[in-house]
Structure 1
Amino acid sequence: MSNDVAYPVFRTPDLALALGTARRLMEFGRSAHSKVSVAAELCSVAEVRRLGKELPHGWFRGQEEYDEFDGVPLEDLPALVVGVQGPGLPADPAAYEGRLPVECELRDLPVGSIEDAFTAAVGPNRGEINWDVLCWPDAPEVGFHGESKHAEVTLLFNTRTRDLDEPADDHTVLVHVRSVSVDGRQMREPYAQWLAEQVGLTVIGPGQRW
């Protein structure tokens, strides 16, 4: 089993510029089977309701406490615990007590189908667009074979971390490659740098792992 490591290659407070840059990098590795997924963490009822209207096909799921619903039949679980699309979000504010932050996501969609709408809707919330099933080419001049399993591009909104756990005033583009660590050193960082350079970017910080 292998894992990936993601390197920041661009950062800006400009939403449109961030999306355009991420797309340029994604297109460099795009394949016929590439997919896109989006996710956001919503910390207020107002933002949940707003995105429920702007992204009606999104799936919304709230928090639950450990063992809170052990033994409860699926049909008796609250909609926010099971997961519900925008039109099915609860109208009663009490339904959100203890459920924030609410996660909104859409997974494995065709490239180009959701990126603009999500970027327009994300607002102040922390979120991401992730393109996967890409295919990075060989880079013989720096001694690396291409790869597809860990070929991804991520655009982080209002955060600089893949966990979406730290707010920021800007947006960050990440390029993913296979993680190969020897004595704590990432051996494929030069490959990430090479990939970034192919579209006029450069690695600007340490790699992030899950």
Structure 2
Amino acid sequence: MSNDIAYPVFRTTDLALALSTARSLMEFGRCEYSEVSAYAEFHSFAEVRRAAKELPGAWFQGQAEYAEFDGVPWEQQPPLAVGVQGPALPADPAAYEGRLPVECRLSDQPVGSIEDAFAAAIGTNMGCINWETLSWPDAPEAGFHGESKHAEVTLLFNSRTRELDEPAGDHTVLVHVRSAVFDGRQTREPYAHWLAGQAGLTVIGPGQRT
């Protein structure tokens, strides 16, 4: 089993520039089966309702405790707790008590189908767009074979970490490669530098693992 490591290659406060830069890098590895997913966390009733109008196809799920589902039939479980698409979200603010932050997901979508709408809906909230099942090419001059399993590009909104555990006032683009450690050194890091260079970018920080 192998894992990936993601290197930051671009950072800006300009959301449109961050999205266009991430797309340029993604296009370098895009293939016919590439997909895109997105995730965000919304911390208020107003923000959830606004996002639901802008992203009607997204799934929204609030916080819940496992114990509250014990013995409760599926049809009687709170919709917000089990997850619903935007149009089915409760309109009563009381339904959101104890459920915030609400997570929003769009998974395994065609490339180009959700990115603009999601970026427009994110606001000041933390979230990400992840382009996956890409195919990085060989880099014979750098001594590296291509990569498919761990070929991804991530755009972080209002955060600098993949865990979205600390807000930031800017947006960061990450390029993913296979994690391969030898003698305490990431031997695939030069490949990340090479990939970044193909899009006119450069690695600007340490790799991030999940």
Superposition map of 1:46-57 within 5 A: 46-57=46-57
Secondary structure in 1 aligned to 2:164?
Answer: coil
Secondary structure in 1 aligned to 2:36?
Answer: strand
* CA RMSD, 1 decimal: 1.0
Secondary structure in 2 aligned to 1:29?
Answer: coil
Secondary structure in 2 aligned to 1:37?
Answer: strand
Give, in angstroms, the shift of residue 66 of structure 1: 4.1
Paired residues of 1:41 and 1:164 also in contact (CA < 8 A): no
1:196 maps to 2:196? yes
Q: Which amino acid aligns with 2:70?
A: D
**Aligned equivalents of 1:117 and 1:189: distance in 2?**
33
1:30 maps to 2:65? no
Task: Deviation per CA, 1:130-161: give whole Å up to 9, x if none.
Answer: 00010000111111100100000000000001
1:121 maps to 2:116? no
Q: Which amino acid aligns with 1:123?
A: G
TM-score of the two chains, using structure 1 as the length reference: 0.97
Q: Which amino acid aligns with 2:18?
A: A
Superposition map of 1:1-210 within 5 A: 1-210=1-210
**Aligned equivalents of 1:175 and 1:15: distance in 2?**
18
Q: Which amino acid aligns with 1:116?
A: D
Identity rate of aligned residues, in percent? 77
**Aligned equivalents of 2:7 and 2:200: distance in 1?**
15
TM-score of the two chains, using structure 2 as the length reference: 0.97
**Aligned equivalents of 2:76 and 2:7: distance in 1?**
43
**Aligned equivalents of 2:154 and 2:70: distance in 1?**
35
Give, in angstroms, the shift of residue 162 of structure 1: 0.7
Paired residues of 1:30 and 1:134 also in contact (CA < 8 A): yes
**Aligned equivalents of 1:12 and 1:165: distance in 2?**
19
